[in-house]
């Protein structure tokens, strides 16, 4: 059920409706929009009895939401959601494109700083890197853990980039929340519902990557899990799905971008690195992603891909990344979008 407030409903009226909903044993999710606030009602008690809700001051109408996803749906918010990072120009969603780049795994301070310097110069506003790696083999490099997170926090201080990194369980989530600006939920964990709920209680934005075999509905439901716990700063990421194709590691499903945008107000970005698994396909698919209307890109970049601890074959060299950004900028312009540089903080000594 969705309560649509009148255009001029006051904050007190919104609060009173939320209180009434909670007193009935449900959860209220107030979503301010450009023209009006909508309040989503969730809770696992089945159908909500409208009761006296529609008679409360400021209420325009009650709408039954029949889709399984409610808070991610455009029914509750018609316009696109924009995630903002106060004190910077970086946004995810809206007119600006979000460019995230960095190594698959954080390997050392030197490696992280070498990449961060180059990608920041090329136009990235976000630094990606894994400190906790969900590897197919238990014998592969598992990440530096908290040390990796500390290095990422230093990258933020030095270059002003916002940092995004994956949490693989509740324990790593506590630390990721402490050090990072965005929590990444990996493809393998897209249906780890307790982890999604924990992310929903985090105070920072969450990026949900599409599972390797997830349908559109399953993908949206994963985001719904996060939002249902009260975290509304959610973005989606298409990273390729498993098919019979053997010319790539995964099949990057760019058609999911307009499909998501039709149904959901959430921003969606594309990961052509995991999405193709091949360095030579990252630039063409990055161009394609922006042309179909994605809100940004997340790209693996390594100074020495041949010796990367993980995913070297799909990692771009910094100079190739810079060239890719140049090409993408031209396409962005044609799409009425731009890549806004992140405002650097003033740091003494440089
Ligand atoms: C990654 O970003 O390095 C990663 C492991 O992503 P995914 O969860 O999409 O495989
Ligand atoms: Mn990777």
- Which ligand is closest in space to the CA of residue 312? 2
Atom of ligand 1 lying closest to residue 133 CA? 5
What's the pLDDT tens digit per position in 28-59? 999 999 899 999 999 867 677 767 898 999 99
Instruction: Look at residue 347 in the predicted model and tell me its pLDDT.
Output: 55
Q: How far apart are CA 199 and CA 49, in angstroms?
A: 30
For the Cβ of 130 lying below 6 angstroms from any atom of ligand 1, the answer is yes
Q: Residue 340's pLDDT is what?
A: 86
CA atoms within 13 A on the CB side of 27: 12
Residue pair 205/227 in contact by the 8 Å Cβ criterion:
no
Ligand nearest to the CA of 129: 1
Residue 273 pLDDT? 98
| pTM (two decimals) | 0.95
| Residue 43 burial class via C-beta count within 10 angstroms: exposed 0-12, middle 13-18, buried 19 and up | middle
Q: Is the CB of 239 under 6 A from ligand 1?
A: yes
CA 8, distance to chain mean position in Å, is 32
Q: Which atom from ligand 1 is nearest to the alpha carbon of 187?
A: 8
Residue 89, pLDDT score? 87
Per-residue tokens: 289:
């992603």
**Token pair of 312 as six digits:** 């070297």
Q: Ligand 1 in contact with 190 (CB < 6 A)? A: no
Distance 58 CA to ligand 1 centre (A): 45
* Average pLDDT, 10 consecutive residues per value, the chain (350 residues): 95 96 93 93 76 91 91 95 93 96 98 98 97 94 97 97 97 98 98 98 98 98 97 98 97 98 98 98 98 98 97 98 98 95 60
- For residues 155 and 144, is the Cβ–Cβ distance under 8 A? no
**Does the CB atom of residue 187 touch ligand 1 within 6 A?**
yes
State how far the Cα of 312 lies from the Cα of 316, in Å rounded to an integer.
Answer: 8
Question: From residue 280, how far is each of 80, 250, 293, 316, 321 by CA, in Å?
Answer: 32, 14, 22, 9, 11
**Ligand 1 mutation target, pool 130, 164, 195, most atoms within 8 A of CB:** 130
Strand 2-5 to 59-63 pairing: antiparallel
Residue bearing the CA closest to ligand 1, atom 3: 104
For residues 82 and 336, what is the distance between their CA atoms, to the nearest angstrom?
16
Task: Copy the structure tokens of residue 250.
Answer: 């995964």
Measured CA to CA, the distance from residue 212 to residue 274 in angstroms comes to 10
Helices (H), 123-255: 146-159, 170-179, 193-200, 216-228
Any atom of ligand 1 within 6 Å of the Cβ of 272: no
| Distance (Å) from CA 239 to ligand 1 centroid | 8
Q: Which residues contact 46 (CB under 8 A, 6 or more apart)?
A: none
What's the distance, Cα to Cα, between the start and end of the chain in Å?
54
Which of 130, 164, 209, 252 should be mutated for ligand 1, with most atoms under 8 A from CB? 209
CB 42 within 8 A of CB 29: yes
């Amino acid at each position: 059920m969705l309560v649509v407030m009148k255009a001029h409903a006051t904050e007190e009226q919104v609060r009173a409706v939320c209180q009434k909903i909670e007193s009935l044993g449900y959860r209220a999710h107030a979503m301010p929009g450009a023209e009006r606030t909508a309040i989503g009602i969730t809770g696992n008690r089945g159908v909500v009895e409208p009761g006296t809700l529609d008679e409360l001051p400021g209420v325009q109408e009650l709408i039954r939401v029949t889709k399984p996803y409610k808070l991610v749906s455009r029914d509750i918010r018609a316009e696109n959601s924009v995630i903002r990072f106060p004190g910077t120009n970086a946004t995810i969603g809206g007119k600006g494109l979000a460019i995230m780049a960095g190594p698959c795994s954080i390997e050392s301070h030197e490696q992280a700083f070498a990449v961060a310097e180059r990608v920041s110069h090329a136009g990235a506003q976000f630094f990606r890197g894994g400190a906790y790696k969900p590897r197919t083999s238990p014998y592969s490099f598992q990440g530096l853990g908290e040390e990796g997170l500390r290095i990422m926090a230093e990258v933020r201080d030095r270059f002003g980039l916002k940092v995004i990194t994956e949490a693989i369980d509740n324990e790593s989530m506590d630390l990721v929340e402490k050090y990072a600006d965005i929590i990444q939920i990996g493809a393998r964990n897209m249906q780890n519902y307790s982890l999604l709920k924990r992310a929903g209680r985090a105070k920072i934005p969450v990026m949900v990557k599409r599972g390797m075999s997830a349908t559109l509905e399953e993908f949206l439901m994963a985001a719904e899990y996060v939002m249902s716990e009260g975290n509304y700063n959610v973005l989606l990421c298409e990273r390729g799905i498993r098919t019979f194709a053997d010319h790539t590691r995964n099949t990057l499903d760019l058609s999911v971008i307009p499909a998501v945008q039709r149904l959901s107000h959430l921003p969606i970005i594309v990961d052509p690195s995991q999405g193709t698994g091949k360095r030579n396909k990252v630039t063409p698919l990055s161009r394609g992603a922006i042309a179909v209307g994605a809100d940004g890109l997340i790209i693996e970049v390594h100074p020495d891909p041949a010796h990367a601890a993980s995913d070297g074959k799909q990692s771009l060299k910094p100079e190739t990344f810079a060239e890719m950004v140049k090409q993408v900028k031209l396409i962005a312009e044609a799409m009425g979008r731009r890549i806004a540089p992140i405002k650097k903080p003033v740091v003494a000594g440089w």
